[in-house]
Structure 1
Amino acid sequence: MKNDIIFIISAGNLYLQNADLSNLGINDHLSAGNDYPNYLNQEGSRIACPAISSFAITVGSVGKEDFENEDYVSVGGKDGIAPFSRTGLGMWGSIKPDVVEYGGDLVRNKTAIEIKPIDQTSIHVVNSTLHGASATGKDYGTSFSAPKVSYIASRLQAEHPTEPAQMYRALIIQSARLPEQCIDNPTMDHIRYYGYGIPNIDRALNNHPKRITFIQNGHLSAKKADIYSINIPPELRGEAGNFSLLVEVTLAFTAKTRQTRKGAHSYLSSWLEWHSSKYNERFQSFRNRTIEYLEQEGEFDQGGEDGGAIRWVLRENPAWADNGINRNSSTCPEKLDNYKASSVL
């Protein structure tokens, strides 16, 4: 925090073989009857230290493409969680990994209980030539996923050299998308595996005629709030629009930490939350509710399930979401919602 930097850390890898019952290898899981991806939900498959850091960007791995020959077939396949990638959630139910990138895949033997790496599903990497090895080669692992996210951060810094590191963090998370097979209805397992999804350098850096990102950064004192209003163009509010809109909100922040590990809020010296207005709520009404929340103890009156609340995919109350995630447990929470254009009002 003092030096305004962000750490980008790999989620860690599962071994192919490891007989330690608290940290079984992939093939040991298969032999015990725990198939892919079910073994990724085991306690021993959780992300490794220091990737549990609340303020770092933790990066898992997904497969780049599908593969199959006479003997082997890819395990994760295109955009599937890599069978070696450690998974979330993080401390106190925070979203970890934050994102995933292409770090290779493994293949399954069609006739035997065996998962292994091959060049066809590994990724092209730079090698050390110290002992006569080739300058490039094929390998796999979350350690090769993380540098791809670091590259996006470096491009953001080159484009916005005077902006704080937390803005780079927010834009990386904002650019991420869940794979096509789960973006419309993500479950708890999808969030455990992919976090916020696969980041995209073009979305992180640029706007387009059909997509725009608004950014704001600054400092907030305790019991204070910034309130923003965005006008939706009339062209997007008509009943005749037969298309979907994707609305995303990303809040990234940093704070001093305490030694306690009792809970997310007791661990942080301070924390930020974001709340949205209800459907059809006027600005003044939302402003008054916000001020009341800041001046009194208790929860923000978000309207519950029947009070006009916007049903974001990640909710401020996990009981209101199908995936059971509390977005306020993370220091970089992103929420997204798909809905018809006629519902924008």
Structure 2
Amino acid sequence: MQNPAQAWNALVVGAYTEKIQLNDPLFQDYTLVADEGQLSPYSSTSIIWERKWASRPDVVFEGGNLLRAPDNSIVRHENLELLSTSKQFNTRKYFDTIWATSAATAQASWFAAKIAFEYPEAWAETIRGLIIHSANWNTAMFAQLNVVKGNRTSFRNLLKTFGFGIPNLERALYSQESALTYIAQETIQPFNYKGTTTTTETNEIHFFNLPWAKDLLLDLGETPVKLKITLSYFIEPGAGEIGWKDKYRYQSHGLRFDVNNVGETEDEFRRRINIAAREENEEVNGNTGSQRWAIGVNNRSTGSMHSDFWEGTAADLATCNHIAVYPIIGWWRERKNLEKVENETRYSLIISLDTPAQDIELYTTVKNIIEVPIEIEI
């Protein structure tokens, strides 16, 4: 993975492939480079990047496959590429093939356009967030990298190879009875001056008390449920060419999310988040229940887009409806001479709750609750 894929604010698109059908007798002695569902041979990864950089790509789309010849050389074949219109249309060559990450990026652009058309009021932060939030990995991706659930290193390699997986348009656009999505588009002021213009401090923390189908979830008991959260925002890169002299010089600010733990009351959760913000730690410490998250706090906390999920029982998730979005230090706060301390910034918070169980009216239950507007406390 090379320049400009390290750009924090960009949606970086890689490629996987399901192209494995080749009905050409001239190539019967050739073998496929990638098996079905694996990384496309055209795609790059960020495996060798330092951990402080965002894991890339963010998502993958179909990019085609390649063949290995008997002499071990690598060759293309149009059957393993995507059909598209030809750039030489006026010469009666109406169709041609497209491949590699160019093909994947074209599909990502189409995907983003579909979201923008369906939801014209969606911010760019939301569109990027929904693409990532809707994505998932297939079994071939897990097998290719020997991913073990609960092993954070293997999940980190999964992110650095496939991003968050293959986006699902239906999941990005719509909620269902057993799979609902909340979206909040908010503005936050991360920092301000403390009394004078010489001392700065963390400013706002946003607390969400979501309308939650608590009684329904309790009734479902041991039914498996998945909670997924994505936080999407844009940073302002560090002015000048200071780069990574220290970890606060590149990003103007950072945002993080946290959810109250099983058995943690709203008051306990608020105290934990507020103490962490006052102590100016980069991450919230204490009883975070960090082991419940599949990707993990450290793996998800790079870049300007953070996503993670938690699979548990409906009963465990019944009371986990308190979510906080809080800032961490950036150069807006530390470089006071640039007069950005009191800047505001936008973010999109996307939360989904779904279950494989059938005939579960999650969506209808929550829809009835949200007739009362959601209040966000600051």
Aligned-residue RMSD, C-alpha = 2.5
2:185 — aligned with what? 217
1:197 — aligned with what? 165
For the 8 Å contact 1:97–1:193, the answer to whether it is kept is: yes
For the 8 Å contact 2:22–2:80, the answer to whether it is kept is: no
- TM-score, normalization: structure 2? 0.69
Separation of aligned partners in 1, 2:163 and 2:129: 14
Separation of aligned partners in 2, 1:184 and 1:123: 32
Kindly indicate whether residue 186 of structure 2 is the aligned counterpart of residue 226 of structure 1.
no
Q: Deviations over 1:185-215 (max 9, x none)?
A: 3533322211011111111111111111100
Alignment of 1:282-321 (within 5 A): 282-303=265-286, 308-317=289-298
Stretch deviating more after TM superposition (294-303 or 248-257): 294-303
Kindly indicate whether residue 60 of structure 2 is the aligned counterpart of residue 100 of structure 1.
yes
2:34 pairs, out of 40, 60, 76, with 76
1:331 — aligned with what? 304
Kindly indicate whether residue 161 of structure 2 is the aligned counterpart of residue 180 of structure 1.
no
Kindly indicate whether residue 240 of structure 2 is the aligned counterpart of residue 277 of structure 1.
no
CA offset at residue 107 of structure 1? 2.0
Q: Which amino acid aligns with 2:294?
A: V
Separation of aligned partners in 1, 2:275 and 2:224: 34
CA offset at residue 301 of structure 1? 4.1
Separation of aligned partners in 2, 1:264 and 1:63: 36
Gap runs ≥5 in structure 2: 191-201, 319-378
Kindly indicate whether residue 128 of structure 2 is the aligned counterpart of residue 128 of structure 1.
no
Residue 228 of structure 1 aligns to a residue in which SS? strand
Separation of aligned partners in 2, 1:217 and 1:124: 37
Separation of aligned partners in 1, 2:99 and 2:308: 30
Between the aligned residues of both structures, percent identity stands at 22
- TM-score, normalization: structure 1? 0.75
For the 8 Å contact 1:174–1:250, the answer to whether it is kept is: yes
Q: Which amino acid aligns with 1:315?
A: G
CA offset at residue 164 of structure 1? 1.6
Separation of aligned partners in 1, 2:22 and 2:157: 26
Q: Greater strand percent: which structure?
A: 2
For the 8 Å contact 2:41–2:66, the answer to whether it is kept is: yes
Q: Deviations over 1:60-81 (max 9, x none)?
A: 0111243367323322232210
For the 8 Å contact 1:278–1:302, the answer to whether it is kept is: no
Alignment of 1:234-249 (within 5 A): 234-238=215-219, 241=222, 243-249=223-229
Larger radius of gyration: 2
CA offset at residue 309 of structure 1? 3.5
CA offset at residue 300 of structure 1? 4.2
CA offset at residue 274 of structure 1? 1.1
Q: Which amino acid aligns with 1:95?
A: S
CA offset at residue 94 of structure 1? 0.9
Separation of aligned partners in 2, 1:218 and 1:93: 26
Q: Deviations over 1:224-272 (max 9, x none)?
A: 111123324434345753x532221100111222132215532011111
Structure 2 CA distance for partners of 1:278 and 1:233, relative to 1, 3 Å: closer
1:113 — aligned with what? 72
Residue 292 of structure 2 aligns to a residue in which SS? coil
Q: Which amino acid aligns with 1:234?
A: D
Structure 2 CA distance for partners of 1:206 and 1:173, relative to 1, 3 Å: same
Alignment of 1:135-146 (within 5 A): 135-146=94-105
Residue 234 of structure 2 aligns to a residue in which SS? coil
Q: Which amino acid aligns with 2:303?
A: S
2:361 — aligned with what? none
Q: How many residue pairs were aligned? A: 287
Q: Which amino acid aligns with 1:202?
A: E
Alignment of 1:24-63 (within 5 A): 47-63=1-17
For the 8 Å contact 2:155–2:295, the answer to whether it is kept is: no
Separation of aligned partners in 1, 2:248 and 2:131: 24
Kindly indicate whether residue 107 of structure 2 is the aligned counterpart of residue 148 of structure 1.
yes
Q: Deviations over 1:93-112 (max 9, x none)?
A: 31211110011111223x43
Residue 333 of structure 1 aligns to a residue in which SS? strand
Structure 2 CA distance for partners of 1:184 and 1:124, relative to 1, 3 Å: farther
Gap runs ≥5 in structure 1: 1-46, 318-324
